[in-house]
């Protein structure tokens, strides 16, 4: 064996210790890569468009959004997380543009790992959408999607309950969903000024 072979063996040994083991647990469950990570086009997503609109909105418009929309209204968790940061900035009276959202994410230690990459990529994507106009239309569109999603989720849950819940729990399960959907209907009607 010559000196070159020896050098390669020394170089290779640290790399083998860094090889990924598919059986290793992911340290942070938010860092798990899912199939949904890259299948949406933000140009066609009203949630992304709302985020863009609020990032560029004047403070009084941004306050209107955060008084109306909640993170739970977002389907994509990455958008809900970004929106949560925007809410915090607007509530504190601080600038809520993309640079300040990115700074807040960094200060909170939320830019590391796969989840951090998702957040920063989504922030860059929504910032550059070029949404023009007021936020009102985007508020309504996001609320409409959230409202309909609630009915889909209730239907799915009721179908699952019909299979797996004891009979004594079925009626209350249905009523609980009915109460949630009634609250959602009342909220949407109030936001739309009495019109559904």
| 136-188 confidence digits (pLDDT tens) | 889 989 999 999 999 999 999 999 999 999 999 999 999 999 999 999 999 88
The pLDDT of residue 126 = 93
The pLDDT of residue 6 = 47
Distance between CA atoms of residues 42 and 79, nearest Å:
10
Task: Find the mean pLDDT for residues 17-34.
Answer: 49
Q: Give the model's confidence band at 196: pLDDT under 50 very low, under 70 low, under 90 confident, else very high.
A: low
Distance between CA atoms of residues 5 and 69, nearest Å:
63
Distance between CA atoms of residues 187 and 176, nearest Å:
17
165: left (phi over 0), alpha (psi -120 to 50) or beta: beta
pLDDT at 118 over 80: yes
Q: Are 82 and 51 in contact (CB under 8 A)?
A: yes
Whether the CA torsion 71, 72, 73, 76 is positive or negative: it is: positive
Distance between CA atoms of residues 64 and 18, nearest Å:
49
Q: Which of 1-10, 91-100, 127-136, 184-193 has the weakest average pLDDT? A: 1-10
- CA 181 → CA 32, 129, 164, 176, 177, distances in Å? 31, 32, 22, 9, 6
């Amino acid at each position: 064996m010559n000196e070159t072979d020896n050098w390669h063996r020394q170089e290779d040994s640290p790399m083998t210790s860094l090889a990924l083991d598919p059986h290793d647990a992911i340290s942070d469950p938010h860092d798990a890569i899912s199939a949904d990570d890259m299948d949406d086009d933000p140009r066609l997503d009203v949630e992304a468009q709302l985020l863009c609109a609020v990032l560029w909105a004047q403070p009084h418009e941004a306050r209107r959004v955060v008084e109306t929309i909640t993170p739970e209204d977002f389907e994509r968790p990455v958008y809900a997380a970004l929106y949560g940061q925007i809410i915090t900035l607007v509530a504190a009276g601080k600038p809520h543009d993309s640079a300040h959202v990115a700074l807040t994410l960094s200060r909170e230690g939320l830019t590391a790992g796969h989840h951090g990459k998702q957040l920063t990529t989504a922030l860059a994507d929504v910032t550059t959408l070029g949404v023009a106009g007021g936020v009102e239309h985007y508020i309504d569109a996001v609320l409409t999607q959230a409202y309909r999603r609630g009915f889909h989720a209730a239907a799915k849950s009721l179908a699952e309950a019909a299979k797996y819940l004891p009979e004594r729990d079925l009626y209350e399960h249905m009523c609980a969903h009915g109460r949630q959907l009634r609250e959602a209907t009342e909220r949407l009607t109030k936001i739309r000024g009495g019109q559904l």
